[in-house]
Amino acid sequence: MTRLDTAALDLDWVRGHFPALQGGWVLMDNAGGAATLEAVAARTAEYMRRWPVQLGATYGPSAEAGELQARARTALAGLFSRGGGAALPPERLAMGAATTSLLSRLARALLPTLSPGDEIVVSEADHEANIGPWLRLQAHGIRIRWWRVRPDSMRPEAEDLDELLGPRTRLVCFTHASNLLGSVIDPRPVVARARTVGARCCVDGVAYAPHRALAPAELGIDWYAFSLYKVFGPHCALLSCSADGAAMLANLNHEWMSAPAPATRLEPGAWPYELAWGAAAVPEYLDALETRHGQPAFDVISAHERTLTAAVLDWLATRRDVRVIGAAEAGPDRLPTISFVSARKRPGEIVAAVDAARIGIRHGHFYAPRLVAALGLPRDEGVVRISMAHYNTLGEVEQLLQALEAAL
């Protein structure tokens, strides 16, 4: 196999921040869960050792913990404006266990603003996290309109919304990037169309956030959620709210907390304090990466990931027995999440063979069974998915391709 060129990213420096990468496995399951930063683990452990307290008291450790939580929330809010737009006020940032949990809370908090006969548009391309909560509102008389995937492009197209939007449309829910196809959906034409009928937009950014800088305020998005454990952090998630979106939220917290900050309305029982403090290491790492390379962090990340993506796609293109599910070429709208099926082997067989080479990839429908079915694939089998991150190397790609050569 031809040796691939090394990318400009300082990979020794990058990989030194991720202890899991020293464990003898090649990890290419970022879309399921990324390797965690050493600083995240250290800060989380430190918090649990030094501040095992509830917030709001006047004694020293509780007061210190409150200050740390305020700092962490401000730092994490900064993740939502690295790509431009106004800074997110920390009081409009909600934390929860996962994006699924936060969007379920959001649906409950928005229900009082809806009436029977109101309509919500959901995308067939989405992870179930941004479908299930809205489907459950049908029990309250809400109508669901499906934004279907086009078989030719394998994605929902913005112009197809023109037949779905109307005077009763209240919400358009869609993904910023498919966790199965690796394809980016431009929110701008979607938001523009939604605004013409007075509808709000809720975006699942889980598959996008590890690879590109976020700017939901600049894009006019009302609610934007992603999971930190896909972005090198602990197992928790964040949800940003626009000013108008925050004002719409009913309180899910204790009844005597009837007028808390918008975030608190979506955080019944508070939030995971130790994980918040640990997660604040993620923006610090991105800042350090930016300083080291003299460029915006996600410019460096996306350039390296495009090299990895092109190497895998170019090899798959040589296989007549393989069909790539998604765009077959690397480009600005193509993330390093690559899915394929084989004419000769079932996805599970392929992944089992790659497992034996100590390379972590995955198969299945990845909580997007509706998308798998829409693409004419067996729902139970799904696809083989390779999902890389910026800490992966071209040497690891070579190992993967050698394992796939044997597996196929």
Q: Please say which residue of 284, 314, 333 terminates a domain.
A: 284
109 and 179 inside one domain: yes
Only one residue has tokens 């007075």, namely 198
* H helices present in 204-346, as ranges: 216-219, 243-247, 262-265, 273-279, 281-293, 297-316
125 and 155 inside one domain: yes
Residue 256's contacts (CB-CB under 8 Å, 6 or more residues apart) are none
Q: Please say which residue of 284, 312, 336 terminates a domain.
A: 284
198 and 213 inside one domain: yes
198 and 317 inside one domain: no
Dihedral sign, CA of 277, 279, 281, 287? negative
Find out whether 126 and 174 touch, Cβ atoms under 8 Å.
yes
322 and 340 inside one domain: yes
Q: What is the β-pairing status of strands 322-325 and 337-342?
A: antiparallel
- Residue 99 CA to chain centroid, in angstroms? 8
Whether residue 180 is contained in a domain is answered as yes
Whether residue 291 is contained in a domain is answered as no
b or e along 44-58 (b: 16 or more beta carbons within 10 Å of the residue's beta carbon)? Answer: beebeeebebeeeee
Domain containing residue 374: 11-38+296-407
Per the structure, how many domains does the chain have? 2
Please state, in angstroms and as integers, the Cα–Cα distance from residue 346 to each residue in 61, 189, 321, 360, 378, following that order. 55, 38, 12, 17, 10
What are the pLDDT tens digits along the chain (408 aa)? 334 443 489 999 999 999 999 999 999 999 999 999 999 999 999 999 999 999 999 999 999 999 999 999 999 999 999 999 999 999 999 999 999 999 999 999 999 999 999 999 999 999 999 999 999 999 999 999 999 999 999 999 999 999 999 999 999 999 999 999 999 999 999 999 999 999 999 999 999 999 999 999 999 999 999 999 999 999 999 999 999 999 999 999 988 877 678 888 999 999 999 999 999 999 999 999 999 999 999 999 999 999 999 999 999 999 999 999 999 999 999 999 999 999 999 999 999 999 999 999 999 999 999 999 999 999 889 999 999 999 999 999 999 999 999 999
Residue 37's contacts (CB-CB under 8 Å, 6 or more residues apart) are 17, 18, 232, 233, 281, 282, 285
Whether residue 172 is contained in a domain is answered as yes
223 and 314 inside one domain: no
68 and 181 inside one domain: yes
193 and 308 inside one domain: no
Q: SS3 of 342, please?
A: strand
280 and 304 inside one domain: no
Q: Please say which residue of 284, 316, 341 terminates a domain.
A: 284
241 and 356 inside one domain: no
Q: What CATH number does residue 370 fall under?
A: 3.90.1150.10
Whether residue 4 is contained in a domain is answered as no
Whether residue 268 is contained in a domain is answered as yes
Total-model pTM: 0.96
Whether residue 5 is contained in a domain is answered as no
Whether residue 30 is contained in a domain is answered as yes
Whether residue 63 is contained in a domain is answered as yes
Instruction: Tell me the helix, strand and coil percentages in the chain, rounded to 5.
Output: 45, 15, 40
Angle formed by the axes of helices 38-50 and 281-293, to 10°? 140
> What is the rounded CA–CA span in Å between residue 87 and residue 350?
45
Q: Is 79 left (phi over 0), alpha (psi -120 to 50) or beta?
A: alpha
Q: What CATH number does residue 145 fall under?
A: 3.40.640.10
Closest C-alpha among 194, 230, 166 to residue 203 = 194
300 and 325 inside one domain: yes
177 and 238 inside one domain: yes
Only one residue has tokens 């800042």, namely 287
